Amino acid sequence: MIYASKRINGKIALSYGLCEYAVPTKETKKVAMDLAEQIACNGPLALRAAKQAMTTGSSLPLTEALRKEKEAYSSLLNTKDRLEGLVAFKEKRKASYQGH
C-alpha cells in the first residue's frame, strides 16, 4: 500500500487487520469521544506508565522492552491509586483515582 500509494477505506483497513473497528464517518466523533471517556476513567498513573512502556519499548529488543514494562509496573506498586484500584475491585465498585 505504501509503495503503490494506495488509499483504503475503513472497511478495507478492518479486513486487513490494520484497525480494531471501523465506523461510518458521521459516527466518528461520537465513537472517538466514547473511547476517550473510557480511557480517561482508568488510573492516570497506570495510563502514563503504559504509554511510556509502549513508546520506549516498541523500538527495543523484546528482552529490553519487557524490562521496561516491568519497570513501569514496578513504579506503580506503592501508589495510592494502585491501592484504590485493588480496594474498588474487591468492593465491586468503580475506582476513584487521584493520580497519587
Is 53 domain-assigned? yes
This prediction's pTM: 0.67
Q: Name residues whose C-beta falls within 8 Å of residue 20's C-beta, 6 or more positions apart in sequence.
A: 14
User: What is the domain extent for residue 51?
Assistant: 28-100
Q: What confidence score (pLDDT) does residue 59 get?
A: 92
Integer angstrom CA distances of residue 65 from 21, 29, 44, 46, 71: 27, 33, 21, 17, 10
* Domain total of the chain: 1
Q: What confidence score (pLDDT) does residue 83 get?
A: 94
C-alpha grid cell for residue 13? 483497513
* Domain CATH for 82: 1.10.12.10
C-alpha grid cell for residue 1? 500500500
Q: What confidence score (pLDDT) does residue 70 get?
A: 94
Average pLDDT over residues 2-30: 88
Of residues 85 and 40, more confidence is placed in 85
Question: Band of the pLDDT at 30, cuts 50, 70, 90?
Answer: very high
